[in-house]
Amino acid sequence: MANSIHKVRCGFQTKQRYRFGWFSMKLKLVGGDSAGVVTAYYMCSENGAGPTRDEIDFEFLGNRTGQPYLVQTNVYKNGTGNREMRHMLWFDPTEDYHTYSILWNNHQLVFFVDRVPIRVFKNNEKPNDFFPNEKPMYLFSSVWNADEWATRGGLEKTNWKLAPFVSSYKDFSVDACQWEDPYPKCVSTTTKNWWDQYGSWHLSGDQKMDYAWVQRNLVIYDYCNDSERFPTLPEECSLSPWE
């Protein structure tokens, strides 16, 4: 259509930055023919896509009507990402609200869907490891056009006749350490927050069962199994999510 202008990205973000905590939101994703449309829900240390940013991403990749959404997760440190995983969901995320959460402390980063841990990213706690733990992050969400790559590798294009594409949000909750330059506001030697305590440094017994079920049934892609792309696998791939 000659004279139409498509707004290709919109979103919102927190005013505050946080370093470590629990971040949770309910989302209901763009329904119907959502091919090419990505709903992103992520944390990032910068407002733009700067070259040294840290980032923790949930990206929901739309699809043609009736075809399944995929959830892509990724982690960036100092501007380097390439830590993608892709999962199927066990429900239709366009029919109702579901809870998507991030647990982040200095030992692990866990991505949850309805309290089920779908991905565990560990810190090996050595110098120069690949784990974002220094930079406080804002939380963002946005809906954008990614039809050059998102759906079947870019084969399925966005059908703009169906615009606007709407994702809905509710129940945002943050239980985290708020940052105030140059220090975190929550620093305290006597009171510690649950998301920073020993019990949150690894999965619980029940969480391990759920995680094992996800690993067996819902993983579509894991960069740690992609030896064509990584002849030498990134070091964190040898860390056990079970410990």
Ligand X SMILES: *[C@@H]1O[C@H](CO)[C@@H](O)[C@H](O)[C@H]1NC(C)=O
Q: Is 134 a catalytic residue?
A: no
159 binds ligand X (CB under 6 A): no
Burial 71-84 (b: 16+ CB within 10 A, else e): bbbbbbbeeeeebb
Closest approach of Cβ 104 to ligand X, in Å? 26
Report residue 29 as tokens: 């994703």
In the complex, minimum distance from the CB of residue 199 to ligand X, in angstroms, rounded to a whole number = 35
In the range 32-61, which residues lie near ligand X by CB under 6 A?
61
Please give the residue whose beta carbon sits closest to ligand X in the complex. Answer: 67
Give, as ranges, the residues between 64 and 93 that touch ligand X (CB under 6 A): 67-68, 70
- Token pair for 44: 């990032």
Least separation, in Å, of the C-beta of 203 and ligand X? 27
Under the binding rule (CB under 6 A), the answer on residue 152 touching ligand X is yes
Strand-pair partners of 139: 43
Q: Which residues pair with 227 in a beta bridge?
A: none
The answer to whether 95 is a known catalytic residue is no
Phi, psi of 74 (to 5 degrees): -155, 160
Give counts: helices (H), strands (E), the chain: 1, 13
Does 199 bind ligand X (CB under 6 A)? Our answer is no
Residues marked as catalytic: 55, 59
List of residues contacting ligand X (CB under 6 A): 61, 63, 67-68, 70, 150-152
